Chains A and B, each alone.
Chain A
Amino acid sequence: MAHEVVLSDTRMSMFGMRVRIALAEKGIEYEYKEEDLANKSPLLLKMNPVYKKIPVLIHNGKPICESLIIVQYIDEVWKDKVPLLPSDPYQRSQARFWADYVDKKIYDGGNRILLTKGEEQEAAKKDFIECLKVLEGALGDKTYFGGDKLGFVDIALIPFYSWFYAYETCGNFSIEAECPKLISWAKRCMEKESVSKSLAHPHKVNDYILQLKKKYGVE
């Protein structure tokens, strides 16, 4: 059966990166469409009318939205290779819990560092590091959150690694100094081609953020 897979995305989006990693892990060929978020395409608006956001996976013309939902969909459709979620229901619930924790804490936490200054930024940095330490606790002594292999939680979190340089530069701090275990985990993930090819370069992410800040007049 011919599969037509299209990904509507932007290079810098950590949510898009999640989907790119999942597709690469499964060896799925797809057409990549880079969106201009300042000028969203009719395709994007039609495929995600509720949120009008990327990423959107379009499979045989039918849209799937929300990055973690897309990753689960990919895992279920291409189920014969490289499982991304464990098969045991309890392990699956733990994977979903931690992926949800990443969604609740890391994006907003990182943004707070980028958008604040002074005391507010110090508080944002502190909170962010605390969340990363909680994730370090969840990782424990495992190679990956998924155990021996890259899994759902690894895919949920690793894209944020490409934004760490921007957070560190803006906040004038070192994440590695506070969370060395997490950075070791991140470097292990980056050794996989599915990850290294899917993540944007940290310096490009930083340039992109600086451009955005200038554009919106944020100091």
Chain B
Amino acid sequence: MSKEEVVLLGFWASPFCNRANIALAEKGVAFEGREEDLFGGKSDLLLKSNPIYQKVPVLLHNGKPVCESTNIVSYIDETWPSPPLLPPCPYGRATARFWADFIDKKVFDGGNSIWKSKGEQLEVAKKGFLEILKQLEGAMGEKDYFGGDSFGFVDIIAVPLTSWFYAYEKFGGCKLEDYCPKLYAWMKRCLERESVAKVLPDPEKVYEFVINLRKMHGIE
């Protein structure tokens, strides 16, 4: 195998970065992970590699940058085809992309609106978030994973976001597992995989991080 240079610019708490981490681990691709200091000062390499958004994650493959986490996971899947993360048939792939896009549009913003709001707004945020999780449970149906029998593309897009759920529970004053037991069973199944367990941050640490974020946003 030719020598390849793979660098991932990331941040420990970012679910988006962790998507790329998990995908690379699933493919057995050796890479150098570089932690960015998002609040102290972004590296020149990051700013140069992602001039449009100046955000992590950025995957650098032999120096060429790929940006936007779902795009990075697709790139990883296509560049290192084994084991495949997307199903082989076009309809299955379209369905996977649809749910990955739904997760991208709804889950992070939906969950974060819980710790960003208070009072009446908080109740609205909680209700909205639970509805989103229920829709995801519906998408999974009776399957073990979003992709069916095996861990795949949508699971990789979704599972890193779950490390923020404990923080949402603390600020929302609710236990999400009571509302979405199927989703929590799926989460536990995913955490049995080494690629996931080694990558995902401790939810307690994420909670502390969110407490700081709230302060930075000037929320009491």
Give the residue of A66, A70, A92 whose beta carbon is less than 8 angstroms from that of B75. A92
Point out the residues of chain B lying under 8 angstroms from A97, CB to CB. Answer: 66-68, 71
Point out the residues of chain B lying under 8 angstroms from A59, CB to CB. Answer: 91
On B, residues with C-beta under 8 Å from A are 52, 61, 64, 66-68, 71-72, 74-75, 78-79, 90-91, 93-94, 97-98, 101-102, 135
B78 engages A73 (CB within 8 Å):
no
Residue of A nearest to B139 (CB): A50
B52 engages A93 (CB within 8 Å):
no
Q: Is A33 an interface residue (CB 8 A)?
A: no
B90 engages A73 (CB within 8 Å):
yes
A93 engages B97 (CB within 8 Å):
no
Q: Is A76 an interface residue (CB 8 A)?
A: yes
Q: Is A90 an interface residue (CB 8 A)?
A: yes
A36-74 Cβ-contact flags toward B at 8 Å (1 or 0): 000000000000001000000001001011100110110
A66 engages B74 (CB within 8 Å):
no
On A, residues with C-beta under 8 Å from B are 50, 59, 62, 64-66, 69-70, 72-73, 76-77, 89-90, 92-93, 96-97, 100-101, 134
Residue of B nearest to A65 (CB): B98
> B73 to nearest A CB, angstroms?
10
Residue of A nearest to B62 (CB): A90
B102 engages A62 (CB within 8 Å):
no
> A75 to nearest B CB, angstroms?
9
B135 engages A50 (CB within 8 Å):
yes
Q: Once bound together, how far apart are the Cα atoms of A66 and B96, in whole Å?
A: 12
Give the residue of A50, A62, A93 whose beta carbon is less than 8 angstroms from that of B74. A93
Give the residue of A64, A65, A66, A96 whose beta carbon is less than 8 angstroms from that of B71. A96
Shortest 6 CB-CB contacts between residues of A and residues of B: A89-B78, A76-B90, A93-B75, A73-B94, A93-B66, A89-B79
Give the residue of B68, B72, B90, B98 whose beta carbon is less than 8 angstroms from that of A66. B98
A90 engages B61 (CB within 8 Å):
yes
Q: Once bound together, how far apart are the Cα atoms of A143 and B103, in whole Å?
A: 35
